Structure 1
Amino acid sequence: MVHQSHIDRYEAYAKGGAGLVIVEACSVLRMPENRDTLCLESDGCIPGMKLLADVIHRYSAVALVQIMLTGLSTMKENRIDEICRTDFLRYKDAFVSAALRCRVAGFNGIEFHAAHGMYLDEVIETSERMDEYGGSFENRVRLFTELIAEIRERCGKDVIVAVRFGNPSYEELLKTADAVQAAGGDLLDVSSGMGRYLDVPSGFPYDGKVYAASLVKARASLPVICVGNIFTGDEGEAILKEGLAGMIAVGRGSLADPAWARKTLAGESPNPCLRCKNCMWYMDGALCPARRRENEEQRL
């Protein structure tokens, strides 16, 4: 459930100048997790989520919630086709219910997490189910497109439906973008899937995920977010000017300095991410060397 540290964190990002704040991946069902994941399984989550929506809106940022199931690593099954149809459809309904709760809480919309080997990504990339949700690409993406259409219908036309997705197959990456657009999605947030992007052109100056986003940008009419090792405002501005994406997502830079956006736009130098091999922020934000240095400088 939401606690004060969540509220403080997202207030800092919104106050720090971010135009769009996507709340961390929240599980639509209570399942075994190796981390302290926010859960949207019941209406009991709504009051806390409303506090997050309100604090983000206080600074005029748009607020989305990333909804997900972690996937097979938290389930008794080893493959998508082993999930019985009853559970498979129950998981589908849980995504819709979670989106409705986010809407009631006052968020502008949701973002499906269908990247990084999460459940929806596993279905799209690996499902060998014998029903209408497995086998061909059209079947594997069906769950996804049905969810988009149903949430659009249940939550209203003005709700933002964003999708974070990736696929090591550029062909299927682009076909997924086409499917999202046809189903009524609003925003394409391109990251990685269950494998790395290969065949990135030699000399491409940015992360492979940015290259993948550029392919989607050239194909789709929807806005495209790119992500991946964007640490400076100059890098972000160059990506936008070159037309590789329409928006940039800054993760670790914002962890190191929640005011990354405001400082960058003002021509100031944000407290930089030091690119630690293992990000200490996720263990305890106070352990992040960049954040610790900033705190020490403020005390001085």
Structure 2
Amino acid sequence: MSSNICRSKGNFTYKNIEDLENDIKKLNLDIKISSNFELFKKKLVIDNHIIPNALATHPMEGGDSDEYGSPTELTYRKYEKIARGGAGLIWLEAVSVTKEGRSNDRQLWITEDNWKAFRKLNDLIKKSAKEEFGEAFQPKTIIQLNHSGRYCKANGERNPIIATHKKILDDKIGISQEHPIVTDEYLDSIILKFVEAARLSKKAGFDGIDIKACHGYLLSELLSAYNRDGKYGGSFENRTKLMLDIIEKIKEDKDCEDLLLSSRLNIYDAVPYPDGWGVSKTGGLDIDLEEPKKLIKLLAQKGVRLISITMGNPYFIPHINKPYDIGGYIPEEEVILSCNRLIKGIGEIQKSIPQVNIVGVGYSWFREFASYVGAGSLEKGLCRIVGFGRESIAYPEFARDILENGEMKSNKVCVSCSKCSEMKAKIGTCGCVVRDSKVYVPIYQDMKNREVNKSEQGCCS
């Protein structure tokens, strides 16, 4: 690393946009900068759906449902704040399609018994947005449907449902080689679960559904099930079969008519072949987008016109999908290089498959300069919508400030401290400890106190 590079590991030292631009040039990165914030005001038309601007809130799992999977006051509070923030696309967090498929006992789960609570949530989002920006403003809402696979938990304990053994990931969370592989029959049954959840999402008023296939969850894991036997493993056709079959069935279902079909999709796992997707088969961790591109083209043929692209596995190497410089471990690579990987890879997909509208990620770490990076991505055609995940819970009004004031405020932005991720990993429930301290500091502190008590009990036993 050149001594003239502004940033160093563990610190964010950019004082102005010129400092950031200098580093991008010195490092010869693919990150683009633009001050043309008018680009964010452009509407995006997908089939019968109009997304009113080019800013999105990305899914951030809050783990704040009740035991039956229904939204609670914390859930309603979070999405009301997001709705009043002005983003044109509100992409809700992971909602399980089965009880056993939940990532923890507080994950949202849509059922025949509680879909009206989700309708209340969607109605609140739409009503709040109109109250802030007028009757003509109608953000689109996407509900993310998921099965957590190897990261399932039940009654506070791990309950992994794995599509294939991956030693490097098994060892990380203590899955033995004797742990059973999920059967083809179970995977067959999942198709109807996704269809049922999509029907309920439509009844609840959501504009679209996301068939989630990222971050090592069940559908994501199947994409790299090279060593699995049966109809869902081995060949590319088999590994992508379940995801494509789910989308086909939803598209055919009359009760799902006019839903905006989308997916949050990994294009690179950062796990060596044969355990990783989008990774070179010749060894190492080089990116190989041949299969992800092939899948995205097939998704487009089936009517999926909106894809939020991501990378990595937050349970294994979290900085790949959430670049940060403060946390449980400090990544070996410069954070700006992690951001560049995301922005470059997503740009390659958007340019090579223009028939799909790609939502970009990798912006939150840039703090108050993120809007310049996002505008640069739009200007250079690296994505069609700029999405923010962590930023949306730290700074829910980011879109309003960009669109109305031409800036993101430094005293509001996410500082990439990783406390939200720490909470998600340890207790399921998470929010912004720094910017929403009144609500989440007590939850965070209670988590820490329990860790101390558990440690002291262990020492005394």
State the TM-score bracket (shorter-chain normalisation): 0.7 to 0.9
**RMSD of Structure 2 on Structure 1 (CA):** 2.7
Deviates more, 1:16-25 or 1:126-135: 126-135
1:224 aligns with 2:294: no
1:192 aligns with 2:311: yes
Quick check: 2:149–2:160 contact (8 Å CA) kept in 1? no
Gaps in structure 1 of 5+ consecutive residues? 198-202, 296-300
Percent sequence identity is: 25
Partner of 1:265: 403
C-alpha deviation, 1:171, in angstroms: 1.4
Pair 30,146 (structure 1): closer, same or farther in 2 beyond 3 Å: same
Q: How many residues align?
A: 290
Partner of 1:212: 345
Distance 2:352 2:437 in 1: 42
Partner of 2:434: 289
Quick check: 1:92–1:147 contact (8 Å CA) kept in 2? yes
1:14 aligns with 2:83: yes
Deviates more, 1:86-95 or 1:27-36: 27-36
1:56-79 C-alpha deviation (Å, 9 max, x unpaired): 222221111001011123255544
Aligned partner letter, 1:163:
S
Distance 2:221 2:431 in 1: 34
Aligned partner letter, 1:216:
I
Quick check: 1:68–1:112 contact (8 Å CA) kept in 2? yes
Distance 2:224 2:124 in 1: 37
Pair 90,129 (structure 1): closer, same or farther in 2 beyond 3 Å: same
Q: Equivalences for 1:45-60 in 2 at 5 Å? A: 45-58=114-127, 59=129, 60=138
1:100 aligns with 2:199: yes
1:36 aligns with 2:175: no
1:30-79 C-alpha deviation (Å, 9 max, x unpaired): 12633620012x20121111011112222221111001011123255544
Quick check: 1:67–1:110 contact (8 Å CA) kept in 2? yes
From 238, 248, 251, the counterpart of 2:376:
238
Quick check: 2:350–2:383 contact (8 Å CA) kept in 1? yes
Pair 127,91 (structure 1): closer, same or farther in 2 beyond 3 Å: farther
Distance 2:402 2:211 in 1: 28
C-alpha deviation, 1:239, in angstroms: 1.1
Q: Secondary structure at the match of 2:114?
A: helix
Aligned partner letter, 2:415:
L
Q: Equivalences for 1:111-260 in 2 at 5 Å? A: 111-126=210-225, 128-154=227-253, 155-168=255-268, 169=278, 170-194=289-313, 206-220=339-353, 221-230=355-364, 231=367, 232-260=370-398
Pair 89,234 (structure 1): closer, same or farther in 2 beyond 3 Å: same
Deviates more, 1:188-197 or 1:57-66: 188-197
Distance 1:66 1:240 in 2: 24
Partner of 1:200: none
Distance 1:160 1:265 in 2: 25
- Greater share of residues in helix: 1
Between 1 and 2, higher relative CO (CA 8 Å, sep ≥ 6) is seen in 2
Quick check: 2:419–2:433 contact (8 Å CA) kept in 1? no
Quick check: 2:78–2:393 contact (8 Å CA) kept in 1? no
1:271-295 C-alpha deviation (Å, 9 max, x unpaired): 11111143367577676213339x9
Aligned partner letter, 1:44:
D
Quick check: 2:184–2:232 contact (8 Å CA) kept in 1? no
Quick check: 1:207–1:229 contact (8 Å CA) kept in 2? no
Partner of 2:139: 61
Gaps in structure 2 of 5+ consecutive residues? 1-69, 130-137, 153-158, 166-180, 269-277, 279-288, 322-335, 441-461
Distance 2:116 2:245 in 1: 28
Aligned partner letter, 1:137:
F
Distance 2:147 2:72 in 1: 21
C-alpha deviation, 1:2, in angstroms: 1.1
Distance 2:105 2:376 in 1: 35
1:108-167 C-alpha deviation (Å, 9 max, x unpaired): 110111011111100111254433322111111111111111111114442101111113
Aligned partner letter, 1:260:
F
Q: Secondary structure at the match of 1:43?
A: coil
Partner of 1:298: none
Pair 248,269 (structure 1): closer, same or farther in 2 beyond 3 Å: closer
* TM-score, L = length of structure 2: 0.58
